[in-house]
Amino acid sequence: MNIDALPAHVGQAVIAIEDRRYYKHMGVDLEGLTRAVMQNFQKGRVVQGGSTLTQQLAKNLFLTNERTLRRKLQEVAMALWLESKFSKKQILALYLSRVYFGASAWGVEAASERYFDKPARELTLGESALLAGLLKAPSRMNPANEDTAAKARALVVLNAMVEEGYITPAQRDEAARQRLPINRRNPAGNLGYFRDWIDPQLNRIIGDQRDDFVIETTLDLEAQRAGESSLNAALDEQGEVMGVSQGALLSLDAQGGVRAMVGGRGYVDSQFNRTTQARRQPGSSFKYFIYMTAMERPNFSPWSVRVDQPIVIGDWAPGNYEDEYNGAVTLTQAFAKSMNMVAIEVANEVGHDNIIETARRLGVRTRLYNYRSLALGAQELPMIEMAQAYGAMASGGFRVEPHGVARVSRASGNVIWTWRPTNAERVVEDRTLRSMNYLMSRVVEAGTGTRARIAGRQIGGKTGTGNDYRDAWFVGFTSGITTAVWVGNDNYQMTKKVTGGSLPARIWHDYMVVALRDAPPTPLAMPRPEDYQVEPTPEEVSAAATAAAAASGAPLVPVAGSPDENPQGPTLDGPEG
């Protein structure tokens, strides 16, 4: 950083409160250290630190936060080395560019933008004092949350500056009278969710190395902002009336790189990441796995016919949305309109164990049980696993791996780590991919997901609604981007009949318009002549349905092999998806 471009009072405020003898020592202040030891001994606790600015810089640059005598001796040695290599002005500049001011702001430039929405060269005396005061406890005194403690500390800094002769009492009083409006809006938006998610990986990559690193992520900042604004705009407008207080959005590229991660309505209010940590009922969006399993079999196609009719299995009587039944339908119609009874019938035909294996192959790691209600998506799953599984469609049938870090380099340009897929195997064969594209595009064109339509784009997706309308989803893909949206309530309170085709589909649409801004429309691979079956006539549908109903009692047979005493498992009685 160019310290000459900063007002003098920026550095003076830091020196006055953190290291008054900065210009009198050579990196280690024996007088200040002795005074600190005596003060701490008298109080019986640590009330004063003994580290100089140079020692703090040495720790930030080269050392860990380990509190041992060995680490302290290393800090002293490195501080002496810094003083021998750099001028006081250079050391102060290095310190100001790296020290932490709270609220994810590293360095005075970032802190000035974060708290005052201005460059550091425009900082006033009062603002400089407030920033310097944060260094003692940046998280506890974060003025974006509550500024009383920070402003009281700023007055302590101003008094110290008077004592050191940097300012006059009159200047102190004038600065103390000035209003210090704090910018409470985080310019980085909700990036805290993404940062928290990638931090463990960065720790594994970088470890204890001490250097300046350049972290290249997969995030698209414009898409991230669009995800946040789309979610909040929809919930600000309709959340209260629809009984919805929370939501989340996760968007992946064709390799699984996270383009946007909105873990909730606001990171400051809640650090719980609903894209990775929450487990919610996917509802009918789970039918993706059922129909995928079916389309992999030669005796199934989008034009296969089944009967949409009430089913009773023992004491379990699931139903369709609004208890409406459609009789003989093609699987395309059943999937587009999210008919539960047909999904149960198909699931029993292909086998629940095979459906679970399909989900596992596509990326679902959460354990799934062979409950009767498996077909209705009653078992809770995290959003990141749903997005990964759907991502195989956007990638052309290949497994995707969600990741947020693309490359890590040293400031010198030396690349130390690059993301590479570990298991990029084909998980969806071409014929199956084409059939599923057709099924899923009909959801958006003429089914439950029409609110997700984007002019000039061919989109595939599926809606999902959880038990008692507690969860609503839309997961869709186009042009190599897969995005999942969920809305609901953290306390599992019922919404006012919010379905996946309502708020989630709207949020998905509004986000994707921005996310796809530079992506040319890409058609989905559709069934070829060898896949195609002529659309059956009503008479053929009726005849096939009669034959199927007479020949197959599968929907009426309880599922065997459930792992506990409740073969039904969690229930889901019939929202459309």
Which residues have a catalytic role annotated? 18, 284
Closest by Cα among 365, 403, 405, 398 to 382: 365
Strands 415-418 and 460-465: unpaired
Residues 505, 494, 267: CA angle, nearest 5 degrees: 65
The amino acid at 347: A
> How many residues are present in the chain?
577
Collapsing DSSP to helix, strand or coil, 553 comes out as coil
Residue 205: Cβ within 10 Å count: 15
| CA atoms in the 13 A half-sphere facing the CB of 491 | 4
As beta bridge partners, residue 465 has: 472
Q: Which uninterrupted H or E stretch holds 491?
A: none
Rounded CA gap, 208 and 539, in Å?
Answer: 72
Go through 387-418 and write b for each residue having 16 or more CB atoms within 10 A of its CB, e for each that does not.
bbbbbbbbbebbbbbbbbbeebbeeeeeeebe
CB 29 within 8 A of CB 80: no
CB 387 within 8 A of CB 249: no
Closest by Cα among 98, 123, 87 to 7: 123
Cβ neighbors of 169 (< 8 A, separation 6 or more) are 162
Cβ neighbors of 186 (< 8 A, separation 6 or more) are 103, 104, 114, 144, 192, 267, 268
Residue tagged 């009198």 (tokens): 24
Rounded CA gap, 433 and 438, in Å?
Answer: 9
Q: Which uninterrupted H or E stretch holds 160?
A: helix 148-163
As beta bridge partners, residue 50 has: none
Strands 481-488 and 258-262: unpaired
Rounded CA gap, 129 and 126, in Å?
Answer: 5
Rounded CA gap, 6 and 252, in Å?
Answer: 41
Q: Which two tokens stand for residue 186?
A: 């985080």
Q: Which two tokens stand for residue 568?
A: 């039904």
